[in-house]
Amino acid sequence: MAMLKSWEEGRAEARAEAQAQAVLTVLRVRGIAVPEATRERILAEKDLEQLGRWLEKAVVASSLREVLEGPS
């Protein structure tokens, strides 16, 4: 049972990392600069719902502030 839990935790962590990388990729492609501290914040986020909201906002936002602040 512990092995299954570890596997599931590892899988969730991998999904969060991939989602965080997607947020950073969209911001980069759109020409929105991301300071190192903010980059670390995004990569440290483990909440998939939050990362999903950031990704959706990153697609249409004109600034980093629009992505990370305001209603989530």
- DSSP codes of every residue in 38-60: HHHHHHH---HHHHHHHHHHHHH
pLDDT, tens digit, 9 for 90 and up, residues 4-58:
668 788 888 899 999 999 999 999 999 999 999 999 999 999 999 999 999 999 9
C-alpha distance from residue 21 to each of 4, 15, 29, 41, 51 (Å): 26, 10, 12, 12, 10
| pTM reported for the whole predicted model | 0.85
Q: Is 22 helix (H, G, I), strand (E, B) or coil?
A: helix
The pLDDT of residue 8: 80
Please state the domain extents for the chain. Answer: 2-68
Alpha-carbon gap, residue 44 to 5, rounded angstroms: 21
